[in-house]
Structure formats: structure tokens, C-alpha cells
Amino acid sequence: MSAQTRSTAEIEERVRVIVGEVLWVAADDIEPGTQLIDYGLDSPTAIELTIQLEQAFAIEIPEDVAAQLNTVAEIVEYVRGES
């Protein structure tokens, strides 16, 4: 299912699941506005997170953009804009 046919809530839920898998945090514990570094995001996990998001949503996230996506809410907004 493309991001175009998904609601913002569905995209947010999928992003939270991906973030949780990459950072080993329960998806239900991830708040949309909390900085991902607060959940343990570092450079290697940022790369893995970007790859997982690109695959899940069939989009490309440039490095400079990925570096600016610091919360689930920001990722959701980007994914919605790319679809």
C-alpha cells in the first residue's frame, strides 16, 4: 500500500513500529514529538532507520533530509509529503 492511500495515523503507526524495531523500543512507548536520540538513536542506527523507512514506504530519503528528521512526527510529515 502506498503512502498516498494510507492515513496519517496509519503512517505514524508504521513509523513507530519501524523506529521501535531499529531502536529496540516498544512502539507503544514512542511519542511522536520526542527526539529519537532520547530513544538511543546514533549514527549507525540512523542509517538503518533510513533504510527501513525507504523500504517500507518506497521512497528515497536524501542524507541531508534524513539528518533533519528528529522525531516520529517529522518522519510522518516527510513521508506524507513524498507520496
Give domain status of residue 38, yes or no: yes
58/62 Cα distance (integer angstroms)? 13
For the question of whether the overall pTM of this predicted structure is more than 0.85, the answer is yes
Of 22, 29, 19, 1, nearest to 69 by C-alpha is: 19
Give domain status of residue 3, yes or no: no
Taking only the tens place, the pLDDT of each residue in 21-64 is 999 999 999 999 999 999 999 999 999 999 999 999 999 999 99
At 6 the pLDDT is 74
Q: Judge whether residue 5 has pLDDT over 70.
A: no
Q: Judge whether residue 13 has pLDDT over 50.
A: yes
Domain count, the chain: 1
Residue 1: pLDDT band with limits 50, 70, 90: very low
54/22 Cα distance (integer angstroms)? 13
Structural domain including 55 reads 8-80
CATH number for 33:
1.10.1200.10
Of 69, 82, 83, 76, nearest to 13 by C-alpha is: 76
